[in-house]
């Protein structure tokens, strides 16, 4: 396998590690029409989950990890939704105000993690990220493989639940027409809360799986979140396959830029690409809304 093949493989694996965050974010937008920047905070929280366990003297096992990594963010999200977010969303210019408020919550979570664990990057599982496995002239760290596995399984389970369960059917009814869904007795507020809670848990899992390959750092949530936002903007409602392809494509762009151009400028170029895509898609969305007037 050549360089291109290795880059493609790494892009796919990185996509899988970030899949819970991206797919959760995309689905939340489809159902609630909201950009929730708190997800970047949950992502960071998930990355620090093992360290949180250690610092509180709890033993590192799957049960504790799931409570801290999955249930806690979901609970925080549900509480926020029930107390603050729903009210903000329902007000005038609600979507915009919600976005701004969620940036505030993200700042709180990010800086709380920085206060607890410092501003520098920390490796949560050094043995996983340092062990490299080679196959077919390709190499990837054990952490990346584990992270990809956890990510793709959790994202797939979420998408399957969304597609085949009765809860998913209800959520999709809200996507199709929330007014009609409300007239049919569906509690739209409850669906929004559940989806946001599930999305928060997924974002946290995404942070955990990404940290297996690299490290935990308080500012780690921003880049994956902007990726998720751009994928969301560029994906029509309920087109899951498009969301996967776009995520792989964006990760591929970053890998190619890092490899051939400059690893130093890779983040700036990637964000530049995100900016251009967001402009193009935003224009299309605006044009579509004008046509609908």
Partner 1 sequence: MVDYVLSVIPIAFFFAIVSFGGVLLWGLYRFPAMSLGAFFGVGAYAAALLIGFGIEHIIALVLATVVAAVAGWLLGATVQGVARDAAVVCTFALQVCLGSLFLNWTAVTGGSMGIGGLSHEFLSFLPFRFEGKWVVTSVAAVVFAQATYIVLQRSRFSITVSASGESEHLSSGFGIPPRMVSGTVFAVSHGWAGFSGALFALYVGYIHPSNFGVSESIFVLAIVAAAGTRSYLYALALSILMVGLPEAVRFLDADILFIEKVRACIVGSVLLAVVWIASASSGGEDMEDSERDSA
Nearer to partner 1, 164 or 275 (CB): 275
Q: How many residues does the chain have?
A: 293
252 close to 158: Cβ distance less than 8 angstroms: no
Q: How far is the CB of 235 from partner 1 (least distance, A)?
A: 13
DSSP H or E run through 291: helix 266-292
Nearer to partner 1, 105 or 212 (CB): 105
Instruction: Give dist(CA 37, CA 196) in Å, integer.
Output: 12
Q: How far is the CB of 178 from partner 1 (least distance, A)?
A: 7
Nearer to partner 1, 148 or 230 (CB): 230
Instruction: Give dist(CA 121, CA 124) in Å, integer.
Output: 10
Nearer to partner 1, 67 or 266 (CB): 266
Q: 199 is written with which tokens?
A: 């999305």
Residues that bind partner 1 (CB under 8 A): 33, 35, 84, 87-97, 99-101, 103-108, 110-112, 114-115, 118-119, 178-179, 188, 219, 222-223, 226, 229-230, 233, 264-265, 267-268, 271-272, 274-275, 278-279, 281-283, 285-286, 289-290, 293
Query: Which residue, among 251, 226, 257, 250, has the nearest Cα to 10 in the 3D structure?
Result: 251
Spacing of C-alpha 104 from chain mean position: 18
Q: How far is the CB of 267 from partner 1 (least distance, A)?
A: 4
Nearer to partner 1, 94 or 149 (CB): 94
User: Looking up tokens 């399984």, which residue turns up?
Assistant: 153
25 close to 200: Cβ distance less than 8 angstroms: no
Q: How far is the CB of 62 from partner 1 (least distance, A)?
A: 31
Q: How far is the CB of 6 from partner 1 (least distance, A)?
A: 24
Instruction: Give dist(CA 67, CA 261) in Å, integer.
Output: 42
């Amino acid at each position: 396998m050549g360089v291109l093949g290795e880059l493609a493989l790494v892009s796919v694996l990185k996509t899988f590690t970030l899949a819970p965050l991206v797919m959760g974010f995309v689905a939340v937008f489809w159902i609630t029409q909201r950009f929730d920047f708190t997800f970047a905070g949950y992502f960071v929280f998930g990355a620090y989950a093992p360290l949180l366990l250690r610092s509180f003297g709890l033993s590192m096992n799957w049960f504790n990890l799931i409570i801290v990594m999955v249930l806690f963010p979901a609970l925080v999200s549900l509480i926020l939704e029930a107390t603050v977010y729903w009210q903000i969303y329902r007000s005038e210019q609600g979507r915009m105000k919600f976005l701004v408020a969620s940036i505030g919550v993200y700042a709180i979570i990010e800086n709380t993690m920085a206060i607890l664990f410092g501003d520098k990057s920390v490796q949560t599982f050094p043995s996983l990220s340092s062990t490299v496995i080679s196959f077919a002239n390709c190499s990837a760290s054990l952490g990346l493989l584990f992270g990809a596995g956890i990510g793709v399984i959790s994202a797939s389970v979420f998408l399957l639940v969304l597609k085949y369960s009765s809860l998913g059917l209800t959520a999709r009814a809200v996507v199709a027409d929330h007014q009609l869904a409300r007239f049919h007795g569906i509690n739209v507020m409850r669906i929004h809360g559940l989806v946001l809670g599930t999305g928060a848990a997924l974002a946290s899992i995404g942070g955990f799986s990404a940290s297996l390959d690299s490290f935990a750092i308080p500012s780690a949530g921003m880049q994956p979140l902007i990726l998720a936002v751009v994928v969301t903007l560029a994906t029509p409602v309920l087109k899951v396959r498009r969301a996967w392809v776009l995520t792989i494509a964006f990760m591929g762009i970053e890998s190619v830029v890092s490899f051939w151009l400059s690893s130093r400028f890779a983040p700036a170029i990637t964000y530049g690409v995100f900016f251009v895509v967001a402009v193009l898609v935003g224009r299309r969305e605006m044009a579509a809304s004008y046509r609908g007037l």
